[in-house]
Amino acid sequence: MRTVGLMINLEKEGILELVGQIVSLLEEEGCTVLIEEETAGAVGIAELGVSQGQLISLVDWVIVLGGDGTLLSCARQFAAAGTPIIGINVGRLGFLTEIDVPGMKLDLKRILNGHYYIEERMMLEAEVFRQGKVVEQSVGLNDAVITKGAFARLILLEVFINEQYLNTYPADGLIVASPTGSTAYSLSAGGPLVAPNLELILLTPICPHTLWSRPIVVASDSNVKVNILSRLGGVMLTMDGQHGFWLEQGDQVVIKRALHNTRLLRLKGRSFFEVLREKLREDDRSNG
């Protein structure tokens, strides 16, 4: 655990000072710090810069400086390598980030002294088939979302689970979420909160035009197939709200468990439910 990668959201306020503090602490503890070369130049420590490929292959673990969005992006990049990641929250809510800035130095020293555990989080993979051929493939930690564009009417989505017909949804869209993603868009759309150690797939319709459509939970080894029936354009697949792909009538989106997991570094002594209470209270206060 002595070669550490830094992934940095340069848009966050005060990020340069924060990076300097972290690099100093890690080097004082005998660690080698590596940063993607363009980012390293932007924060004024170009000597720590390496290529993205080298960063992925060389580091023992990764510290993510940003919010949940930065961590989600990092998760997609490092999942195949199996590299553990931990987030320092420089964002607003931070369900996924483990460390807050005020206690940052103490928490990082705890990790370097071995007071951590690794939590495996299942990811999702989505493939788009068009006329029988795969035209898009991507992975995400939180969710795969099929949604209408800004000016589209309700879209029509035909859903199958393991080749068994489930329903045809006239709706604004459909969220297919992992347990980790249950605290994200799915929660806002009325889906349940799911403990992250469970392995399942959650389907949450977005504003369905029916009185009886409800979120549905299926096994983690299920194949979720969604046929795009809408004739109108403006339908998009997004992974973790970051990577998007435009869909057409007749496309089939197949969503299943990804081959790799995200490995999150966690501090001993904190439970999911403790974090949940803290973050939901923070969200209530910020919206109040």
SS3 109: helix
- Supply the pLDDT for residue 149: 79
Average pLDDT, whole number, for the chain? 92
| Spatial separation of the C-alpha atoms in residues 70 and 10, rounded to whole Å | 10
Amino acid at 186: S
- pTM score over 0.85: yes
Secondary structure tally for the chain: helices H, strands E: 7, 18
Longest dimension (CA), the chain: 61
Residue 220 has pLDDT above 90, yes or no: yes
Which tens digits make up the pLDDT trace of 131-164? 999 999 999 999 999 999 776 688 999 999 999 9
Q: In what order do the strands lie in the sheet containing 143-148?
A: 216-219, 200-206, 173-177, 143-148, 235-239, 243-247
251 is catalytic: no
For domain 123-259, is the CATH number 2.60.200.30? Answer: yes
Measured in residues, the chain has a length of 288
Catalytic member of 60, 68, 100, 143: 68
**Least confident window among 32-41, 136-145, 152-161, 279-288:** 279-288
* Torsion sign (Cα): 262, 9, 99, 17: positive
**Least confident window among 94-98, 99-103, 134-138, 160-164:** 94-98
Where exactly does CATH 3.40.50.10330 map onto the chain? 3-115+268-287
Instruction: Give the burial class of 70: count Cβ atoms within 10 A of its Cβ; 0-12 exposed, 13-18 middle, 19 or more buried.
Output: buried
Q: Which CATH number fits domain 3-115+268-287: 3.40.50.80, 3.40.50.2300, 3.40.50.10330, 3.30.390.50?
A: 3.40.50.10330
Residue 56 has pLDDT above 70, yes or no: yes
